[in-house]
Amino acid sequence: QVQLVESGGGLVQAGGSLRLSCAASGRTFSSYAMGWFRQAPGKEREFVAYIRWSDGYRYYADSVKGRFTISRANAQNTVYLQMNSLKPEDTAVYYCAACDKYWSTYTIPGSYNYWGQGTQVTVSS
pLDDT at position 125? 94
Does residue 32 contact residue 72 with C-beta atoms inside 8 Å? no
Average pLDDT over residues 38-63: 95
pLDDT digits (tens, 9 = 90+) for 68-105: 999 998 777 899 999 999 999 999 999 999 998 888 88
